[in-house]
Amino acid sequence: MSYKSTMHNISVNRLFQSLHHLFHALLVLIIVILTFSFFFFCYAEPTGISTTAEKWVGTWSTAPQLVEPGNNPPSPGLSNNTLRQIVHVSLGGDSLRMRFSNEFSTSPVTLNSVHIAVSKGGGIIDSTTDEVLYFNGNPEITIGPGTAITSDPFQFALQPLTDIAITIYFGNTSPDVTGHPGSRTTSYILTGNEVSKVDFSNAVRTDHWYIINTIEVLAPDSAYAVAVLGNSITDGRGSGTNKQNRWPDELARRLQENPDTRMVAVLNEGIGGNCVLRDCLGPSAVNRFERDVLDQNGVKWLIILEGINDIGQAFGTQGSAKVAQDLIAAYEQMIDSAHARGILVYGATLLPFGGSSYYTVDHENARQTVNEWIRNSGRFDAVIDLDEALRDPADPLKLLPGADTGDHLHPNETGHRMMAEAVDLNFFFWRIK
C-alpha cells in the first residue's frame, strides 16, 4: 500500500473517531440539559412561581393596632416565653421576608429567636420545613417602641394557601402590646424557650395575634396584590375559627383556582370595630391608609368595604346625613391617593343591617346615600355590589337569613363565601386606567 493511501485511511479513521467522540459529547450534553430541566421543574412547580423573581409582594398581612387590655396575652404572658401563631398565606414563593410591628407600644420588645414552618394544625409544625429568621445577620432583635422591623430574606418553599406557623421566643416585652385581636386563629404560649419544639398542643391558647404584621414573597413582575380595607366583616367576624374562611380568604382561593389570576395575592387589612372617619377600635381608615394600603409592596388593586361603624354610631338625622357625606369625601380622598400610586380602587356597597343594634331610619338613609354614591358616582374603577348579593329579596333591609350570624350585622360562613363569589375575577387582570 502506498504512503498516500495509508495516510488517507488514517485520516478517515480519525474522522470517524472524531465524529464518534462528538456524538458522545452531544449525547452527554443533552442528558445534562434534560436532567437540569427536570430538577428545575420539580423545584419550581410546588410554589407556582417562575424564577423570574423581580420584586417583593405581600402574601399575608394584618393591620396592627394597640391591643385592648382584655385581649392582651393570657398568663404566662410573652416575656421570656414562646409564642406560636398561625397565618394563612395567599401567594406562594421561594424567597420570603417578614415584618414585625411594635408601633403602638411604649416599650421595646426583644425577639430572642424567630422560627417559621409549615403548620400541621393544632399547634404542631412540620419540623422538616423549620427555618430560623435573621435580622441583619443576627437571630436576635429588639424592636423599639413605635417602630417596625423586617427580617432578612430567607429561602422557604411556600405553597399558595398554606397555613404557616411563626414561633417567637421573646425576651422582655412591652406591657402595652401591638397586635391584632381578631385573628380568627388560635395562638399558643409555652413558658421558657421552646422555639424549636414541634408540638404546642398542650400550650396555653388564645385567639389573637401579637407583633406579627406582614409576610412578603419575592415574585415575578406579573405578580400583584389586592388589599382589602375594612372593619370586622373583612376581619372575619362570623367566619369559622381556624377555618381560614374569611371572605378575603375565600377570594384568595377563587383567585388561585383560576389560572389567569394565580399571581394575585390578597392582603386582609380589616380591623374589627374600625371606623373610617375617627379612631374607634384601631386607628381610623383614613389615618392608617398609607401604612396598610399605599406602603404595602406589590398592591395593584384596593377593595374598600368600610363605613358601617361610622353610620351605626352616628347621632340623629343631621348627624347621620353628615356622616354619609363625610364618608363619601373620605372615599374620594383614598381613591385619589391610590390612583396617584397606580392602584385601581373598587368600591364595595355596605351590607344591610336591618334588625341589628345599628338600625334606625336615619342610619338606613345614610347607608342608602353612601351605596347610591358608590354605585353611580363613577369615581371607583369598578363596583362590587355586596348589598345586592347578600340582601334578603323578601326584606331588602336585612341580610339573607342563610347568610346571617343572627346579629343581623355580620355574615356567617355562608355569607363570607357569597361575598367572595360576588367579586368578578376579571377585575384582577392587568389593565391601565
Task: Give tens-digit pLDDT for 363-405.
Answer: 999 999 999 999 999 999 999 999 999 999 999 999 999 999 9
Partners of 191 in the beta sheet? 81
Kindly state the DSSP code that residue 189 receives in the 8-state scheme.
E
Kindly state the DSSP code that residue 290 receives in the 8-state scheme.
I
pLDDT of residue 38: 39
Kindly state the DSSP code that residue 135 receives in the 8-state scheme.
B
Kindly state the average pLDDT of the residues 407-421.
98
Question: Cell numbers of 395, please?
Answer: 326584606
Q: Is beta strand 299-305 parallel, antiparallel or unpaired with respect to 344-348? A: parallel
**416 neighbors 241 (Cβ within 8 angstroms):** no
CA distance 183 to 271: 10
Kindly state the average pLDDT of the residues 411-424.
98
CA distance 198 to 63: 28
Q: Is 379 exposed, middle or buried (0-12, 13-18, 19+ CB in 10 A)?
A: middle
Conformation bin of residue 186: beta by default, left when phi > 0, alpha when psi is -120 to 50: beta
CA distance 151 to 376: 44
CA distance 432 to 426: 13
Kindly state the average pLDDT of the residues 235-264.
98
282-309, pLDDT tens digit by residue? 999 999 999 999 999 999 999 999 999 9
Instruction: Count the neighbouring beta carbons within 10 Å of the beta carbon of residue 166.
Output: 22
SS3 47: helix
Angle at 193 between CA 113 and CA 181, to 5 degrees: 70
Q: Which of 270, 304, 269, 265 is nearest to 383 (CA)?
A: 304
**194 neighbors 165 (Cβ within 8 angstroms):** no
Bigger pLDDT: 235 vs 12: 235
SS3 298: coil
Amino acid at 241: T
CA distance 149 to 85: 18
pLDDT of residue 34: 45
SS3 164: strand
Q: Which of 354, 352, 330 is nearest to 274 (CA)?
A: 330
Give the lowest-confidence range in 5-14, 48-57, 129-138. Answer: 5-14
Helix (H) or strand (E) holding 416: helix 413-421
Partners of 135 in the beta sheet? 138
SS3 155: strand
84 contacts: CB under 8 Å, gap ≥ 6: 123, 125, 165, 166, 167, 168, 187, 188, 189, 190, 200, 203
28-55, pLDDT tens digit by residue? 444 434 443 433 333 333 344 444 658 9
Cα of first residue to Cα of last residue in the chain, in angstroms, is 85
Q: Is 20 exposed, middle or buried (0-12, 13-18, 19+ CB in 10 A)?
A: exposed
Q: Which of 5, 175, 192 is nearest to 82 (CA)?
A: 192
pLDDT of residue 429: 83
Beta strands in 162-202 (DSSP E): 163-170, 178-180, 187-191
SS3 140: coil
Conformation bin of residue 226: beta by default, left when phi > 0, alpha when psi is -120 to 50: beta
The pTM of the whole model exceeds 0.85: yes
**111 neighbors 140 (Cβ within 8 angstroms):** yes
19 contacts: CB under 8 Å, gap ≥ 6: none
Going from the C-alpha of 262 to that of each of 298, 416, 417, 420, the distances in angstroms are: 14, 21, 19, 16
Residue 430 pLDDT greater than 70, yes or no: no
CA distance 67 to 183: 12
CA distance 123 to 132: 18
60-112, pLDDT tens digit by residue? 999 999 999 999 999 999 999 999 999 999 999 999 999 999 999 999 999 99
